[in-house]
Amino acid sequence: MRKHHWSLTSLFSAAPVATVVVLLLGALAPGVFAQTTSVQVFAAVPITASGPGTDPSLAVSFAQTTLVLACDTMPVATLSSTPDGTGDVIVDNFLTMNGVNVCESPGTFDCGSVPTCSFSCIVNFLGDTGNTLTSYTPVPPIDISGELALGSQLVTFELMDWGGFLASSDLWLVTNCDVPPQVAICHKPGTPAQKTLLVTQSAVPAHLGHGDTLGPCL
């Protein structure tokens, strides 16, 4: 089994709020990973005071990553705090994929909880990195395979907070798909100037934003 580990910081330039586009191309042998690629989607966020608590419906994003996924067969993907796909996850408060809370389970909206004291005394842990998994009770790795479809699709992950404190562990996308260093886009489609370009991952959002389309020109 071949494994690849990628960090977003090694693929893209840094930005205050990460908005990164990754094209994943891959196929899955029935029931197993034909090959495993790990992409660091978010770096750990230290525990930080974030203002008065509200409720989940008023949550705001404190980090965002947009991926372009292309899956030829049944997609398999897991979000984990470690690149091997086995690490428990913390997001205070929760993580969404295309606006859907993938942490949500009956009775809770959160990816993790404070285990050792009341909510108010988490102030003792300010500045701690969520990746240590010591200040929260984490949740198991999150299987997002069922949220994906065959073919190409835009997927946006957001770390969400609804007050009090925010934090997260490292978050890795572990998948059977490849992560190519360049992406084909059709520049100025439908005009005499249209042409296929190969662009870096970080350049894709700007191209899509001014009307270019994903994939080669036809």
Q: Are 52 and 130 part of one and the same domain?
A: yes
Q: What is the pLDDT of residues 122-150, one digit of tens each?
A: 677 788 776 667 778 888 999 999 998 88
Q: Are 69 and 155 part of one and the same domain?
A: yes
What number is the average pLDDT over the span 56-72?
85
Q: Are 48 and 24 part of one and the same domain?
A: yes
The predicted structure's pLDDT at residue 12: 45
The predicted structure's pLDDT at residue 119: 59
Q: Are 207 and 139 part of one and the same domain?
A: no
**Is the pLDDT reported for residue 69 higher than 70?**
yes
Q: Are 38 and 127 part of one and the same domain?
A: yes
Q: Are 141 and 173 part of one and the same domain?
A: yes
Ranges assigned E (strand) in the chain = 2-7, 23-26, 35-42, 45-51, 60-71, 77-80, 91-92, 94-97, 100-101, 142-143, 151-161, 164-168, 171-175, 177-178, 182-187, 195-200, 213-214
> Residue 74 belongs to what domain range?
2-179
Q: Are 194 and 154 part of one and the same domain?
A: no
Q: Are 163 and 203 part of one and the same domain?
A: no
32-36, 166-170, 189-193: the lowest-pLDDT one: 32-36
Q: What is the pLDDT of residues 23-45, one digit of tens each?
A: 443 333 334 445 778 889 999 99
Q: Are 142 and 204 part of one and the same domain?
A: no
**Is the pLDDT reported for residue 56 higher than 70?**
yes
Q: Are 153 and 129 part of one and the same domain?
A: yes
Q: Are 134 and 217 part of one and the same domain?
A: no
pTM of structure: 0.77
**Number of folded domains in the chain?**
2
Q: Are 200 and 122 part of one and the same domain?
A: no
